[in-house]
Amino acid sequence: MPRAAEHFCPACNTSHPEGLARCPKCNTALVRLAVVGGDELIGRELDGRFTVREKLGAGGMGAVYRAWQHSVGREVALKVIAGRQAANPTAAKRFLREARLASRLVQPNIVGVVDFGQTPDGMLYLAMELCEGRTLSRLIRDEGPFGIARALHIALQLCDALEAAHGAGIVHRDLKPQNIIVLDKPAGRDLLKVLDFGLARSLDGEESNITGSNIVGSPNYISPEEAMGHDVDARADLYSLGAILFEMFSGAPPYGRDGGFTDIVRRQLTLAPPPLVGVPASLEALIHRCLSVRPEDRPDSAATLHAQLTSFVGSESQPVAVAAVPAPPEPERRSRSPFVALGMVGLAVLAAAVTVLVLQGQQPAAEPAPGVPVVVRPATEPEPEPEPEREREAPVAPPVEPPAPPAAPPAKRGPARRDAKKAAVKVEPRAAEAPVPAAEACAPACAEWEECKAGKCVERLMR
């Protein structure tokens, strides 16, 4: 049940029930205190048209409730203006005048005004379309920063809403993400509604006295001319829209959230907006134009800004911000020299010949007749030129052997001896455990067996 109006005695600080005109204790005239806002409104019926059901939220200007509209049988959002604003005659007049203008706005992106009025006890209320969703501020905090396509989709809807309002002679003056509702349904469509057109400014005294604490608007989104107390027009809302666009791309307002009202306004007037990363340079320049200190440097209307933003639709797939660096050319493949190929073929032939010799050496050889030297004919492949003699280990002394049969006398220097040196000598493969002495490997098959005792012949074969 709604609470009855309170009758208060300012002399003895006592409260009394309704129906008394004077305090029964001190005979002082009682002051009737209207019930304006608070949970006491739940269940109360306003002017026989709305029944308050649930409190949705509260702010500096009052509270918002879920209410039932009897005439059409639907739920509405009921905003109650409380405190000093409801008691201010000038504010009340401006509220009723501009609420009447707002009720004429019929545009898909503007919250529709259903009714407005004032109760007999002095409470101002405004019945609006009930929207289920999140504020744009919450959406940026949860899912931002946005891509180009999503941010432009939201900004174009804001342009449509501003164009309709400006055409009706209404300037929002407090456009910010907190006053924009992104609807839950249909899901994923990012359809939005703009709240409080022309109401916040109309509730705050004379327009000529907008200084100090009387300035309406959030410092992160308010235009510089309004912050300094100058007259404003539709271009003030375009500044706010530029700040909202900047925040959708970066996740933060253009001049940050640190500092008080004066600090933020000083940065607006003295600093250029920070650069935007991942945004085309021409789109970034347009956003900076909206954030110009002088209104004449901004786009002249919401319709103009809408047309300029539309030109960037579909630019998500284009390279932005950083120019693509061309890849270095692939180095040219060089063709192999025929001499290298010929050398590889020769190595393959030589390896095959060595393999054949090794396999032949593993077969048991026939016992040579005594006194007959075994001479192996030279191979068809000429032996490669001998490399310079490498440093070798000290030769191992051969064991004492019985005298061998007389060998052929050493050939004289000349062609015969050179032919003998070119001959390939067949040797038995050595075991891995112990090296075979040079004398055992060559005698008596070598014509130079005597020299072979020094290991020269075996060393030459191993090369």
Tell me, yes or no, whether 184 lies in a domain.
yes
**Residue 451 in 3-state DSSP?**
helix
Tell me, yes or no, whether 97 lies in a domain.
yes
Omega of the bond leading into 368 within 30 degrees of 0 (cis):
no
Asked whether residue 5 falls in the same domain as residue 24, the answer is: yes
Euclidean distance between CA atoms 244 and 151, whole angstroms: 9
pLDDT of residue 10: 74
Answer whether 112's CB lies under 8 Å from 128's CB. yes
Strand order in the sheet with 133-135: 133-135, 180-183, 192-194
Asked whether residue 62 falls in the same domain as residue 160, the answer is: no
Euclidean distance between CA atoms 49 and 246, whole angstroms: 42
Residue whose entry in the numeric block shows the structure tokens 């608007």: 217
Helix (H) or strand (E) holding 244: helix 234-250
Across-strand partners of 50? 46, 69
Which residues does the annotation mark as catalytic? 174
Integer angstrom CA distances of residue 78 from 39, 52, 72, 123, 458 = 13, 8, 15, 12, 112
Tell me, yes or no, whether 126 lies in a domain.
yes
Across-strand partners of 66? 54, 77
Euclidean distance between CA atoms 85 and 63, whole angstroms: 13
Euclidean distance between CA atoms 365 and 371, whole angstroms: 17
Phi first, then psi, for residue 273 (nearest 5°) are -60, 145
Asked whether residue 95 falls in the same domain as residue 160, the answer is: no
pLDDT of residue 140: 97
Pick from 270, 166, 284, 292: nearest CA to 225: 292
Euclidean distance between CA atoms 314 and 82, whole angstroms: 47
Predicted structure pTM score: 0.58
Tell me, yes or no, whether 302 lies in a domain.
yes
Asked whether residue 13 falls in the same domain as residue 91, the answer is: no
pLDDT of residue 351: 66
Tell me the pairing of strands 45-46 and 62-69: unpaired
Pick from 11, 78, 8: nearest CA to 43: 78
Asked whether residue 268 falls in the same domain as residue 155, the answer is: yes
Asked whether residue 165 falls in the same domain as residue 307, the answer is: yes
Asked whether residue 112 falls in the same domain as residue 191, the answer is: no
pLDDT of residue 433: 47
Asked whether residue 126 falls in the same domain as residue 184, the answer is: no
Domain extent, residue 13, equals 1-33
Which CATH number covers residue 85? 3.30.200.20
**Residue 373 in 3-state DSSP?**
coil
DSSP assignment letter at 110 = B
Euclidean distance between CA atoms 133 and 184, whole angstroms: 5
Tell me, yes or no, whether 207 lies in a domain.
yes
Choosing from 130, 153, 177, the residue where a domain stops is: 130
pLDDT of residue 165: 92
Asked whether residue 246 falls in the same domain as residue 159, the answer is: yes
Residues of the chain with pLDDT under 70: 1-6, 32-39, 59-61, 82-86, 91, 94, 198-217, 316-463
Tell me, yes or no, whether 398 lies in a domain.
no
Asked whether residue 57 falls in the same domain as residue 165, the answer is: no
Answer whether 298's CB lies under 8 Å from 239's CB. yes
Euclidean distance between CA atoms 234 and 161, whole angstroms: 12
Count: domains in the chain: 4
Tell me, yes or no, whether 395 lies in a domain.
no
Task: Enumerate the H helices of 311-437 as residue ranges.
Answer: 338-361, 415-422
Tell me, yes or no, whether 413 lies in a domain.
yes
Asked whether residue 64 falls in the same domain as residue 188, the answer is: no
Phi first, then psi, for residue 224 (nearest 5°) are -60, -40
Asked whether residue 89 falls in the same domain as residue 11, the answer is: no
